[in-house]
Amino acid sequence: MIKGEKDDTWSVELSNDLELWQGFGGAGTVVLDGSGKGELVVTPTTEAQFYRTTLSQRANSLPAPYNLFSEELTLYVDGEFMVIESSNIPNHPSPYFSRGDDRYEPYNGPNGSFRLNPNSIVSQSFVYRIPLNPVEASNKRRTNLGSIGIATNGVALFNQYAGPNNRPLTNEIDSFDQFNGHPQNTGVYHYHIEPLYLSGLEGKDGLLGVLLDGFPVYGPIENGVPVTNAELDEYHGHFHATEEFPDGIYHYHFTDTDPYLNGGEYFGIPGTQTN
């Protein structure tokens, strides 16, 4: 993934396909460390622009739904898993950024009972390993506190409970910012309910993320009408064709009432998330 614009330092965070280095010729050399990261400093040239285009084309060839994920994320296939690396920083303003941060924005949402929790957004080093070909689990596993999936902007998705003792979200909802997210005590920003910034961009019927079991998450509208909990199974999903999966796939939906995203158990076999 390339970051930067003309006259900037171009930072190469990951390449697991060495053929992609061929556009550079003698423009520079990359030395990767043990984590697979390295830096390449070049003056932007035709070769560098070509390389950037190649990476963009490669991202567009990722399997659905991952070609819809933010270009700020690192995504690559490792065997039967899609690996996603994320700093977990939202791509929208929030009152949970520090006041001196350009991304700080005071709460301006509709909740008259909003109260800022004492936590601030902290960058993470999340690595997700998500099954590329999800299947229904014969023995369903309960969702955990912490990340149960990832939104398309790289932000963690949490289940319907407030920690640490699986309490209802009733009180915690009042600390959600104008885009329905907030950080927990170690600074992990996350969504429990519909991520309004993303559904505003992609549409309330759009694909908004994926859970750890590999099954996609869609917004609260389907075929032009709101999805109700009664239309979903006990895991908060159902099976049919979608734009990204014309042959049909099991998928979850955000709804406006508890459990909001997931019924407490994964429909499929979950992968992992580490930090």
Residues 170 and 227 in one domain: yes
Residues 18 and 79 in one domain: no
Residues 189 and 118 in one domain: yes
Overall domain count for the chain = 2
Residues 36 and 94 in one domain: no
Residues 214 and 254 in one domain: yes
Walk along the chain (275 residues) in steps of 10 and give the mean pLDDT of each run: 43 42 42 52 43 42 87 94 97 96 97 97 98 97 96 97 85 97 97 98 97 98 96 98 96 97 97 96
- Parent domain of 31: 2-61
Residues 148 and 56 in one domain: no
Residues 26 and 68 in one domain: no
**Residue that finishes a domain, picked among 61, 86, 107:** 61
Residues 27 and 96 in one domain: no
Q: Are strands 216-218 and 249-253 parallel, antiparallel or unpaired?
A: parallel
Entry pTM: 0.79
Residues 99 and 134 in one domain: yes
Sorted by sequence, the CB contacts under 8 Å of residue 206 that are 6+ apart come out as 198, 199, 218, 219
Residues 78 and 55 in one domain: no
